[in-house]
């Protein structure tokens, strides 16, 4: 890699990080306002105009609070766990094409040929931070939350991984940019693989520990689960990691099933810098829709019992995902024979 290429990639990293961090902050703000609307409350509306600066106040509060480490925890692991949870969510963003081109540069940090394998591999690392937090806290409620999280993520990662196999059987490539190129000529993949999208969406709720799958931090049973003993910025890193994972899951759904940066009447790569930014805006708009779905579901559906969660993952989704892969394999084989 030349120095110029390194500088361009570094600039892309800074741009994506500078975009994702405010998205996390205002996703929290949106969740608080939407939940208030659903529950017929007002919500935060005092800091700045209509509460627009509330995320800044929340961030300052997290920074200025006492960073307390209990005497009975395993200190090194206790400090390491939030970082292990926080970092993988951002690393996933590296392979997601958030636009077509800007000038002569692709709107993706790393256009890997195995982009989807990279994203699934990195996302699966986040569970280690949660398990480590439960272990390091040396307390029964965090430990139970960590055990629940590991079992839950293993269960639904299998279904999520198999859900996207038909997509790549249709496209014939693991590169996420090629997935979008396929949708330029053939239409959005939600039309070809609706069941895959449905399983991916439900599994994404489980992978991000969102209701109705928030058993690892179930406050009615576990106080706050794996992050019970955390405060200040270490707690904030868990919190930001959850919302960053939601953003990454939303971006993956947009890329895999909803055409990425395209609309039905906008399918050509950018011919100017303005068109390039328009494509990024389209991609972000689709992402915000799915973030709204994550938030809406949290405040509308009750939590599963743990046995229901595991039953859905192993006895429903895994067999259904296998059958889905088999159906697409037979269909594509039959199509190849007819040719």
Residue 1 banded pLDDT, cuts 50, 70, 90: low
What pLDDT is recorded for position 221? Answer: 73
What pLDDT is recorded for position 59? Answer: 84
One DSSP character per residue, 248-260 reads HHHHHHHHHHS-T
Q: Do residues 27 and 247 lie in contact, with contact meaning Cβ atoms separated by under 8 Å? A: yes
What pLDDT is recorded for position 273? Answer: 87
Distance separating alpha carbons of residues 28 and 117, to the nearest angstrom: 29
Per the model's pLDDT, the better-predicted residue between 21 and 66 turns out to be 21
Range of the domain at 269: 65-338
Average pLDDT over residues 297-321: 88
Average pLDDT over residues 305-314: 87
Q: Do residues 30 and 296 lie in contact, with contact meaning Cβ atoms separated by under 8 Å? A: no
> Which tokens in the block code for residue 324?
């889905």
Average pLDDT over residues 67-73: 81
What pLDDT is recorded for position 48? Answer: 80
- Range of lowest pLDDT (79-88, 128-137, 217-226, 308-317): 217-226
Partnered with residue 312 across adjacent β-strands are: none
Average pLDDT over residues 217-242: 80
Q: Is 85 among the domain residues?
A: yes
Per the model's pLDDT, the better-predicted residue between 224 and 244 turns out to be 244
One DSSP character per residue, 275-317 reads HHHHHHHHHHHHHHHHHHHHHHHHTTSPPPPHHHHHHIIIIII
Q: Is 56 among the domain residues?
A: no
Average pLDDT over residues 71-97: 86
Handedness of CA 13, 19, 23, 26 (dihedral sign): positive
Distance separating alpha carbons of residues 272 and 170, to the nearest angstrom: 31
Q: What is the pLDDT of residues 30-65, one digit of tens each?
A: 888 998 988 888 888 888 888 888 888 888 888 888
Distance separating alpha carbons of residues 286 and 256, to the nearest angstrom: 12
What pLDDT is recorded for position 189? Answer: 92
Pairing of the two strands 101-102 and 105-106:
antiparallel
What pLDDT is recorded for position 194? Answer: 93
Distance separating alpha carbons of residues 237 and 142, to the nearest angstrom: 16
CA distances from 219 to 30, 222, 226, 307, 310 (A): 22, 5, 11, 17, 19
What pLDDT is recorded for position 291? Answer: 93
Average pLDDT over residues 137-151: 83
Which residues, including other chains, have CB under 8 Å from residue 240's CB and lie 6 or more apart?
Answer: 24, 86
Place of tokens 């996390």: 24
* % pLDDT > 90, the chain: 27
Q: What is the pLDDT of residues 233-268, one digit of tens each?
A: 888 888 888 888 899 999 999 999 999 899 888 888
Q: Is 11 among the domain residues?
A: no
Q: Is 271 among the domain residues?
A: yes
Average pLDDT over residues 60-73: 82
Pure H helices in the chain: 3-38, 54-64, 75-92, 115-123, 126-136, 140-163, 165-171, 176-186, 194-207, 219-222, 232-257, 273-298, 306-311, 318-338
Answer whether residue 317 shows pLDDT above 80.
yes
What pLDDT is recorded for position 88? Answer: 86
> Which tokens in the block code for residue 115?
């982009």
Please state the domain count of the chain: 1
Q: Is 244 among the domain residues?
A: yes
Q: Note the Cα 266 to chain centre separation in Å.
A: 26
Orientation angle between helical segments 126-136 and 75-92, nearest 10 degrees: 160
Q: Which of 160, 168, 238, 239 has the alpha carbon at shortest distance from 201? A: 160
Own/partner contacts of 34-39, CB < 8 Å, gap of 24 or more, are 34/292, 34/295, 34/296, 34/299, 35/295, 35/298, 35/299, 38/296, 38/299, 38/300, 39/299
Distance separating alpha carbons of residues 188 and 263, to the nearest angstrom: 9
Residue 329 banded pLDDT, cuts 50, 70, 90: very high
Q: Note the Cα 156 to chain centre separation in Å.
A: 14
Q: Is 15 among the domain residues?
A: no
Distance separating alpha carbons of residues 309 and 45, to the nearest angstrom: 36
Residue 322 banded pLDDT, cuts 50, 70, 90: very high
**pTM for this one?**
0.91
């Amino acid at each position: 890699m030349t120095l110029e290429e390194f500088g361009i990639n570094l600039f892309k990293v800074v741009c994506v990080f500078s975009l994702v961090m405010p998205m996390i902050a205002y996703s929290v703000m949106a969740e608080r306002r939407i939940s208030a609307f659903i529950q017929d409350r007002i919500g935060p509306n005092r800091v700045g105009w209509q509460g627009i600066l509330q995320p800044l106040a929340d961030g300052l509060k997290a920074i200025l609070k006492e960073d307390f480490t209990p005497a009975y925890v395993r200190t090194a692991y206790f400090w390491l766990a939030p970082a292990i949870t926080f970092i993988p969510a951002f690393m996933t963003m590296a392979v997601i094409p958030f636009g077509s081109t800007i000038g002569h540069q692709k709107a993706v940090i790393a256009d890997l040929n195995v982009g989807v394998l990279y994203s699934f591999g990195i996302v699966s690392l986040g569970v280690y931070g949660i398990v480590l937090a439960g272990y390091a806290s040396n307390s029964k409620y965090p430990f139970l939350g960590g055990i629940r999280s590991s079992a839950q993520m293993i269960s639904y990662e299998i279904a999520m991984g198999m859900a996207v196999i038909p997509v790549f059987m249709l496209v014939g490539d693991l590169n996420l940019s090629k997935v979008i190129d396929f949708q330029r000529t053939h239409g959005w993949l939600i039309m070809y693989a609706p069941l895959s999208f449905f399983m991916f969406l439900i599994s994404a709720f489980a992978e991000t520990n969102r209701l109705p799958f928030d058993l690892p931090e179930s406050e009615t049973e576990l106080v706050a689960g794996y992050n019970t003993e955390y405060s200040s910025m270490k707690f904030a890193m868990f919190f930001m990691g959850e919302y960053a994972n939601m953003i990454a899951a939303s971006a993956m759904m947009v890329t895999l099933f909803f055409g990425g940066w395209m609309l039905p009447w906008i399918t050509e790569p950018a011919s100017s810098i303005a068109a390039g930014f328009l494509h990024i805006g389209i991609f972000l708009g689709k992402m915000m829709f799915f973030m709204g779905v994550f938030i809406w579901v949290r405040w509308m559906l009750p939590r599963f019992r743990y046995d229901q969660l595991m039953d859905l993952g192993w006895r429903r989704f895994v067999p259904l995902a296998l059958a889905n892969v088999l159906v697409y394999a037979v269909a594509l084989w039959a199509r190849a024979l007819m040719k």
